[in-house]
């Protein structure tokens, strides 16, 4: 049986199911208990699991992140709620120097099975410190896995996989998608890491898109279909590990690729995926691989400015049309 539920509900179900299944799973972060987070994603969990397992912390991000690392090393499986992705900067030492490296530095003797749930996404009029999409920052660090769900279905299945993983996993949920509904099975399922989803098949151009940008790519593909251009949309679902093979197979077929991600474009996720396509499918390409990330500016507050900074369907479609016509978008 499949019903439609919101991404928020999907996250809540994933955590509840895993907490029922495994008593070592705990939840901690700011306002995760009675408040259920500002986005109300976790509402109801404290009522079922109690304050021993759904733990409200002080506003001390490095502190509770560090506590989660130590708890993970000694028998618990913490799911940490980081209220805004922008607060990643506050937890960088505990996440990148401690959690990510402990297994390696101990020669494989210690493990850190923890999940850091956080969010991303601009256009919520929240300005520069509550709007960033910082997945590239953590994807850069060996030892961290990084998941980017694009719908309620992925949000639930990836989170359950993350909680069962013996490594630190960072999950970015797009905060603008919490109320978006998608079909989600009633019965239990997992979404494996490192397995991309071909959202739409096509012949002429490959659109590799993450998280919220999958919707943008699908909308662009729809518009392109009207122009007789057949676009394939690929959602990697996890960027570490990355299902390179599915992306490369697609590009070998279409000969053109646009990579879309909401993080800043320079040195970003789009750059990494584009580079891999360039390195490994160069002789199959009929056009340069195009990156479309967020504009390299801090996210502005004014709606008139903020909307300019993120990729949109019209922009993706226009770039696709041009590369299909053989035009150079970034001429030397």
User: Cβ 153 to other proteins, closest distance in Å?
Assistant: 24
Name which of 69 and 299 has its Cβ closer to other proteins: 69
User: Cβ 157 to other proteins, closest distance in Å?
Assistant: 18
Name which of 183 and 241 has its Cβ closer to other proteins: 241
Residue 329: how many CB atoms within 10 A of its CB?
Answer: 12
Name which of 111 and 126 has its Cβ closer to other proteins: 111
For CA atoms 98, 104, 110, 115, the dihedral sign is positive
Catalytic residue, from 61, 154, 218, 306: name it. Answer: 61
Catalytic residue, from 18, 30, 130, 306: name it. Answer: 130
User: Cβ 247 to other proteins, closest distance in Å?
Assistant: 10
User: Cβ 24 to other proteins, closest distance in Å?
Assistant: 7
Where on the chain is the footprint of other proteins (CB under 8 A)? 24, 26, 52-53, 57-58, 60, 62-76, 78, 93-94, 97-98, 102-111, 113, 142-143, 145, 165-167, 194, 240-242, 244, 276
Name which of 108 and 326 has its Cβ closer to other proteins: 108
Name which of 105 and 297 has its Cβ closer to other proteins: 105
Question: Does 264 participate in catalysis according to the annotation?
Answer: no
User: Cβ 181 to other proteins, closest distance in Å?
Assistant: 33
Question: Does 130 participate in catalysis according to the annotation?
Answer: yes
Tokens of 13: 């179900």
Which residues are identified as catalytic?
A: 61, 130
């Amino acid at each position: 049986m499949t019903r439609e539920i919101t991404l928020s509900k999907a996250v809540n179900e994933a955590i509840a199911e895993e907490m029922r299944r495994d008593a070592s799973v705990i939840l901690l972060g700011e306002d995760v208990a009675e408040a259920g987070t500002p986005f109300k994603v976790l509402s109801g969990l404290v009522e079922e699991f109690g304050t021993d397992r759904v733990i409200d912390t002080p506003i001390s991000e490095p502190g509770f992140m560090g506590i989660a690392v130590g708890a993970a090393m000694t028998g618990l499986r913490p799911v940490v709620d980081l209220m805004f992705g922008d607060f990643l900067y506050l937890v960088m030492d505990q996440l990148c120097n401690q959690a990510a490296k402990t297994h390696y530095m101990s020669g494989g003797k210690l493990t850190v099975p923890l999940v850091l749930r956080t969010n991303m996404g601009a256009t919520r009029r929240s300005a520069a410190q509550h709007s960033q999409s910082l997945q590239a920052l953590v994807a850069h660090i060996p030892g961290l896995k990084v998941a980017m769900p694009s719908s309620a279905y992925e949000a639930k299945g990836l989170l359950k996989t993350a909680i069962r993983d013996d490594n630190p996993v960072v999950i970015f949920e797009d905060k603008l998608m919490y109320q978006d509904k998608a079909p989600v099975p009633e019965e239990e399922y997992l979404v494996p890491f490192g397995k991309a989803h071909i959202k739409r098949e096509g012949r002429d151009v490959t659109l590799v898109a993450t998280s919220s940008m999958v919707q943008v790519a699908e909308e662009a593909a729809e518009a392109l279909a009207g122009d007789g251009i057949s676009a394939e949309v690929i959602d990697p679902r996890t960027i570490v590990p990355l299902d390179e093979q599915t992306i490369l197979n697609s590009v070998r077929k279409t000969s053109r690729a646009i990579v879309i991600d909401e993080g800043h474009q320079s040195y970003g996720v789009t750059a990494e995926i584009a580079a891999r396509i360039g390195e490994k499918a160069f002789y199959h390409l009929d056009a340069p691989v195009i990156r479309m990330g967020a504009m390299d500016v801090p996210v502005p507050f004014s709606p008139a400015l903020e909307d300019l900074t993120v990729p949109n369907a019209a922009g993706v479609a226009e770039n696709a049309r041009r590369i299909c016509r053989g035009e150079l978008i970034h001429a030397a």
